[in-house]
Each structure stands twice: as C-alpha cells, then as structure tokens.
Amino acid sequence: MHIMVVGAGSLGLLFAAKLASQCSQLTMVTRTTEQASELAEQGIKLEGEASQTAKSTKSIVYSSYLEETREDIIPNERQVDYIFLMVKQTAITDELVTYLRHQMTDQTFLVCFQNGIGHEQKLSQAIAYDKLLFAVTTEGAKRNGLHSVRHTGRGITYFGVIESNKQLTPNNQHIFFVQMLKSAGFRAELSNNMEVRIWSKLVINVVINPLTAILRVPNGDLLRSEWSRSLMQDLYEEALKLANLKRIALPDKLWDTILTVCEETKTNHSSMLQDIEAARQTEIDYLNGRLVKVAEEWDLVLPTHDMVYRMIKAIEN
C-alpha cells in the first residue's frame, strides 16, 4: 500500500514515521524545499521511540509540493492508495488542491485531518465526495525542529464519511488500511458517526483555543478563574444551541470532557496560542468564525463566539 502524507507538522511526521515500516511505499510531502531537503538527509527522528526510528528513516520519499504546483503539472503515475492531508485549514490553497487532485486516481482516497469545519466544502468542489474520508484523532505530538517529533500522548483515530445519510462501506481496502494503522501502533477505527465526532472536537476547540490565545495562558489556567470558566460555559452553550438546531446529537457529557481536556493538558499551549505567539495566521475563521456564519444561516446569534472571533482577528492584525 502506498501512503502519501501531505503536511510535515507534528502529526504528519508522527504518522509518517510510524507507518513507513508498514507500507510498500510512503511519500512525505512538505510545504518548503528546506524541510524536504533536511528530511531527505536526516530522516524523521521519532524521539523516545528509538526502536522505530531506524526503520522509519529509510523507506520514505520526501518532496515539497511547492516544487510541483505549476500549471503544467503532470498527473502522478504512481498509484497512491491514501493521501493523509495533515495541514491546517489556512494552508488548503487552490494550488494545494490542484496538487492533491493530480496525485489521485480512481482508487485514491483523501483523508482529511483538519480541525474545524468548512474545508469539506472547498475540497469537494475539486475532488469527488466519495473519495473524501474524514479523520478525528486524539493522538498527541510535538515537533522539535524540521525533522524531529515526539509522541506526547496516545489516543485514537476515527475515519469515516460525513455526507448526509451516507455510511462508510467497510470494504477490504479500508479494513486493510485500518489494520495497517494498528500494526504501526495506532488505535484506529472506522466510524459511521463522524459528524458527531467532528462536531465534538470542534466544540472542544472553540471553547478552549481562542480563550487561551486571548488570555495568553496554557490550557489549565482557564480552570483557575471563575471568569474564564464562565466564558467557557457561554461558548459551550452557544455551540450546543447551534448543534441542536442542526440536529447533531452531541454527547451529554461533552462539557465534562472539555474540563478534563483542560486539566489533562494543563501545561500545553493550544495551537491557536502558539500561532499568536509566532505571529502566524490562526484557524479562527474555521472554528468560532465558521460557527458564527453557520448560525447566521439559521437566524441564530452567537454573541460570545462573535466577540472572541473579532478579538482574535484584531490580535492577528
């Protein structure tokens, strides 16, 4: 099986390093030529798991998609079975979508690991919906430099479709694909409940991430103040109201899960806080901003989400 991982951030490097020994071929696609060159020279260093490092540095082909995003791009003649799209939503440009389309054949599935919502609409305009799979993962990883990654927390990854009234057919290819992930050391399952899983993770992100970025605090500090907890509660209840309108049955204990996530990751800086600290564009448009837009379609106002959305945009500027 040929796996292509597009995006060499923390999760991209983690999945590539662990899957390399299980694939007949694995291609690691970076954004910059600098990272592709360093990976080709150094391989992926999987910190804390030295027994897998030697295996995962030898069987990976490294390239940069920016080298190939030209109008005269030639379709890939190599059969790619699954493409793991592991970039942030802000990186899903028209050029990247063109690159992805040219890597795919009729047998290729694009697996989308993005946070938030909205990317499914953009991708489906260029790629057939029946070739899109969506993933939700609780695996934790931290990238240390261009070629080094540490597995910081073991979780589970779910795969499925989100098209209304359609279920994922567990064909032999998908079953083998999940078994390959398990052999690589991941917990993985096919799911016919992906919309709920995606929205559950979305709600966790829209409650925690913008507040940590605005207050400039690690996740756990949100629980230390009654004022920040009240803001969390408002964000949660507004998101729940929208989900109920859309008839998405979120788990009853999702609020408890949010509190648990804050406590278990109490020293972590959220990805949005890291983006703010590094003066990068955040994913706020696809998180709270997207909820505000969807709510408008239902004639619903989300005042707390609108407030934190505008504050993050002001900080970005």
Q: Which helix (H) or strand (E) holds 84?
A: strand 82-85
Task: Please state whether beta strands 148-153 and 140-143 pair in parallel, antiparallel, or not at all (unpaired).
Answer: antiparallel
| Interval 111-128 mean pLDDT | 92
Residue 166 has what pLDDT?
A: 58
Split at pLDDT 50, 70, 90, the class of 167 is low
For the question of whether the overall pTM of this predicted structure is more than 0.85, the answer is yes
Nearest to 181 by CA among 159, 151, 161, 198: 159
Question: Does 28 have pLDDT greater than 70?
Answer: yes
Residue 203 has what pLDDT?
A: 98
| Interval 16-44 mean pLDDT | 93
SS3 of 158, please?
strand
Task: Please state whether beta strands 140-143 and 157-160 pair in parallel, antiparallel, or not at all (unpaired).
Answer: unpaired
Integer distance in angstroms from the first to the last C-alpha of the chain?
44
Task: Please state whether beta strands 2-6 and 140-143 pair in parallel, antiparallel, or not at all (unpaired).
Answer: unpaired
Q: How many CA atoms lie within 13 A of 160 on its CB side?
A: 22
- Of the listed ranges 67-71, 96-100, 207-211, 246-250, the least confidently predicted one is 67-71
Nearest to 23 by CA among 185, 177, 188, 187: 177
Split at pLDDT 50, 70, 90, the class of 273 is very high
What's the rounded Cα separation, in Å, for the pair 171 and 160? 12
Split at pLDDT 50, 70, 90, the class of 168 is low
What's the rounded Cα separation, in Å, for the pair 232 and 304? 9
Length of the chain: 317
Question: Does 70 have pLDDT greater than 70?
Answer: no
Determine the distance from the C-alpha atom of residue 234 to the mean position of all C-alpha atoms in its chain, rounded to a whole number. Answer: 25
Split at pLDDT 50, 70, 90, the class of 153 is confident
Domains and CATH numbers, the chain: 2-192 (3.40.50.720), 196-316 (1.10.1040.10)
Task: Please state whether beta strands 2-6 and 82-85 pair in parallel, antiparallel, or not at all (unpaired).
Answer: parallel
Average pLDDT, the chain: 90
| Interval 20-40 mean pLDDT | 93
Residue 71 has what pLDDT?
A: 46
| DSSP string across 259-276 | HHHHHHTTTPPPHHHHHH
What's the rounded Cα separation, in Å, for the pair 33 and 43? 14
| Interval 291-316 mean pLDDT | 97
Q: Which two tokens stand for residue 184?
A: 């690589």
| Interval 51-79 mean pLDDT | 61
**Max CA separation in the chain (angstroms):** 58
